[in-house]
Structure 1
Amino acid sequence: MALADDIHLISQVPLFRGLDGDQLRLIAFGAERRGVAAGQELFRERSPAESAFVVASGRFELLAAGRDGNLVAEKVAGPGTLLSELALVTMVERKFTAIALEDSEALRITRTLFHRLLEEYPQVGRAVEARIRENIADLAKAAAAMQHRFR
């Protein structure tokens, strides 16, 4: 894919929506495109996460270890999905295993690249912080809506 295609893809990711052309170009230029064959892992649950991934093409099944230790399908991620976004901000472990359901590609965005974006464009940090706050509020609402299941 061309750089312009990667810029367009990244601009569709909610975390990066609203960034200007130079900011998107910095991310797209610094991102690493990774091909993953059907049935192969993009990453494994509980491994250290020093980068996030944007699904560029194909689909990834997201699996997490169940109580019995077996992997359980959580959901399927398609193009435009950002995986492991917290890894852009801090060191975390992967919360699931991502396996390609078909030949797929993902853009790898490292924490170092993301921090460079924040250093060069401090206003992006404020916008990203606002989006993260919105995401946390949405998670809290979803958890509250499921509270009846845990009584």
Structure 2
Amino acid sequence: MALDDDIRTLSSVKLFEGFTQEQLRLLAFGTESMHLAANRKLYLEEDEADSAYVVVSGSIILFRESDENRTPLAIVKPGSILGELALIADTRRLTSAAAATDSEVLRLNRKMFHRMLEEYPELAIRLHRHIADELQALIRRIEELAPRFTP
């Protein structure tokens, strides 16, 4: 995939809204393009997470696996990012992920992302705002569901 295509893909990801063309180009330059055949695992639950993945084409299934039993949780489509927390913190994968169909993903490395945050501190402020907004949205969803679980 060409660098311009990677930039276009990254610009569609909500986490990277507001990045300049120069910042997107730097981010794209540091990505690794990966082709996954259908059913190939991308990562496993509890793996150490040092990168995030942007789905370029195809679809990725998130699932939990125990004793040969696979529980599907979600299907992730192009333009989505997986494991964004891994870009900023040491963490482990909360689910497993595999290609549901032949897929293309961009792997974003934490070290490269940290270098970008050091070079462009305004991105760190934007990232903080994004995480806070996502956390608030999660809290609202939990509050909406809470009555269903109260006797």
TM-score, normalization by structure 1: 0.95
What amino acid is the match of 1:100? A
Matched residue, 1:36:
36
Residue 149 of structure 1 and its aligned partner are, at CA, apart by 2.9
Deviations 1:53-80, CA, capped at 9 Å, x for gaps: 00011101110247x8832111100111
Distance 1:75 1:7 in 2: 26
Secondary structure of the 1:114 match is: helix
Matched residue, 2:64:
64
Mapping of 1:4-43 within 5 angstroms?
A: 4-43=4-43
Residue 150 of structure 1 and its aligned partner are, at CA, apart by 2.5
Secondary structure of the 2:19 match is: coil
Secondary structure of the 1:46 match is: coil
Secondary structure of the 2:98 match is: strand
Residue 101 of structure 1 and its aligned partner are, at CA, apart by 1.2
Say what the alpha-carbon RMSD is for the aligned residues. 1.4
Matched residue, 1:110:
109
Distance 1:10 1:64 in 2: 27
Q: Percent identity?
A: 41
Paired residue total: 150
Structure 1: gaps (5+ residues)? none
Matched residue, 1:47:
47
Structure 2: gaps (5+ residues)? none
Secondary structure of the 1:146 match is: helix
Matched residue, 1:123:
122
Matched residue, 1:87:
86
TM-score, normalization by structure 2: 0.95
Secondary structure of the 1:102 match is: coil
